[in-house]
Structure 1
Amino acid sequence: MGHALSVAATMPDFIRTSDDTSLFYRDWGTGKPVVFVASWVMPSESWSYQMAALAEQGFRCVAYDRRGHGRSSDPGRGYDFDTLADDLAAVLDTLDLRDVTLVGFSMGGAEIVRYVTRHGTARVGRLVSIAPTTPLVMRRPDNPHGFDEAVLEDLHRAFQQDFPLWVEENARPFVLPETSQATVEWVKSMALGTSLKAVLDCHRMLVREDFREELKTIDLPVLVIQGNADISSPIDLAGRPTADLIPGARLEIYQGAPHGLFITHRERLNRDLAAFAAS
């Protein structure tokens, strides 16, 4: 057993966390580092279009599979924002990355916020939150735009009963009507590579976590990007209040863009990311 662990610890393209979880990562290009954190049920592969484009423009692009996602190990634990932020810290520390542009999509936008508030800004120069789930998904008396708890619990039960069916029914609304069926199949295949334990635990956590006070403490340049046709994380629930709460944050609204704008609006997104990361 000891020999197996020592071999695994030195495997290329994997980073070992403090609780002995192996995180698969991609590292493309050279230059200023841009680190990508994917959404719930999406692996690092989902950033392919952004990483390929920015690597060609002189950036070092790093993305990793969250625990229980993609090729990373499936420990059945650690699906809380503190642990996930510590996993991100393990990536930045192991690769010794500095002046990083942290890019988070959907749930990943919450992870990069927790990283900064938990680990500080010594390695980070700026943040980009795309179609975020911050500041708070669940409806409360002081969060009237949120989703009712009963609706979210129904969704959770649907994952437990037939997650592949849920993915099948929701892959097309994630993109645009003109998006190719081949791309929709790619999105479904990535989602179905996620551990069901990670699917359930991450979802139950992300809809309840309240980031409103944390967002107010961020002292970095921040770009928030969201489509106004996002039904998964509506802009008045997420993008707009996130930008309003972060001092000095800039909100870019993509007209007609759905939740999966990293696919549907990738050329504009890649331009915006490159310009912001170079600033």
Structure 2
Amino acid sequence: MDYWIEVEQGVRIYVNDINPSGHSPILFMHGWPANHHLFEYQYDQLLQRGYRCLGMDVRGFGQSDKPLYGYDYNRSADDIRCVVEAMTLNNFTLLGHSTAGAVAVRYMKRHEGYGVSKLVLCAAAAPSLIQRPNFPYGLNEMAVTNIIQGTYRDRPDMLRDFGEIFFHNKVSEPFASWFLQMGLQAASWSTVQVAKAWLSEVLFDDLAFVNIPTLILHGIHDRVCLFRLGVAQHQGIKGSIFVPFKNSGHGLFYDEKEKFNDQLMRFVG
């Protein structure tokens, strides 16, 4: 079922509640620059096993509204809260990939994990996507600057290049085209504003506020959110489960989809 939920005046967020009567609800949060279709190969398996899967397009992406503002992590976390309340979600698993993984961590602090019983972070951009004076494990700032400049210069070309480093294993040409089209469904300004947020957002303190069962999945060949970020998340979240993916890059949900789906179902129960 399709929903458009108003999170503030004039801004609606799209949610696809694929199996409303299913068990163990999972709210899937996609990363930049995609949309909820990113998890197609999870839906394929989970729906057959009776899970309730909810795919949310974050603001500026997919079928959600695309305002010129509101792309910092606090506002993104507030959007999740509005969706959770509107959908009356409770005792659900929150799954965040990449930037959405970072936003999920912020949600746990800012909204005290409202409604969430389990958290899954996959290739998450926490505690910092880029290098900091006290954290040398992220990307250098120029890598993000190049993405921003590339968006302004030739967004399709930038997205194509990003797609080439997203997966560790070679994908087919039709698959690469499908991935590119997801990115093109976003607004150019939202594509830039999220990238700019990477330069300022940090979650070193937020990690300590995660106090529910947490599964961390991270590809060792990740060239976007480097593997050391997953290690830092595991160190910062007490009692978390950390599963490295030895044959995966940033798109571990496709690079090793069978392992990913198995780990997710084992964890959610």
With normalisation by structure 2, the TM-score equals 0.94
Pair 1:99 & 2:99 matched: no
Conservation of the 8 A alpha-carbon contact between 2:168 and 2:222: no
User: How is 1:53-202 mapped onto 2 (pairs within 5 angstroms)?
Assistant: 53-202=45-194
SS, match of residue 65 in structure 2:
coil
Superimposed CA distance per residue, residues 95-135 of structure 1 (whole angstroms, 9 cap, x where no aligned partner): 11111110000001011111111112341101000001100
Conservation of the 8 A alpha-carbon contact between 1:14 and 1:24: yes
Pair 1:208 & 2:200 matched: yes
Conservation of the 8 A alpha-carbon contact between 1:137 and 1:208: no
| Partner residue in 2 for 1:250 | 241
Shift in Å, 1:12: 4.9
Work out the CA distance in 2 between the residues paired with 1:146 and 1:247.
22
| Partner residue in 2 for 1:266 | 257
Work out the CA distance in 2 between the residues paired with 1:96 and 1:222.
22
**What are the ranges of 5 or more consecutive residues in structure 2 without an aligned counterpart?**
none
Work out the CA distance in 2 between the residues paired with 1:12 and 1:274.
24
The CA RMSD measured in Å over matched residues stands at: 1.5
| Partner residue in 2 for 1:21 | 11
Runs of 4+ in structure 1 deviating by more than 6 angstroms, as ranges, are: none
SS, match of residue 169 in structure 1:
helix
Match of 1:227 among 189, 211, 219: 219
Work out the CA distance in 2 between the residues paired with 1:82 and 1:178.
35
Distance 1:122 1:89, change over 3 A: closer
Superimposed CA distance per residue, residues 65-112 of structure 1 (whole angstroms, 9 cap, x where no aligned partner): 111101111111111111111111111111111111100000010111
Work out the CA distance in 1 between the residues paired with 2:78 and 2:190.
16
Larger radius of gyration: 1
* Number of residue pairs aligned between Structure 1 and Structure 2: 267
Q: Could you tell me the percent identity over the aligned residues?
A: 27
SS, match of residue 120 in structure 1:
coil
With normalisation by structure 1, the TM-score equals 0.91
Distance 1:177 1:214, change over 3 A: closer
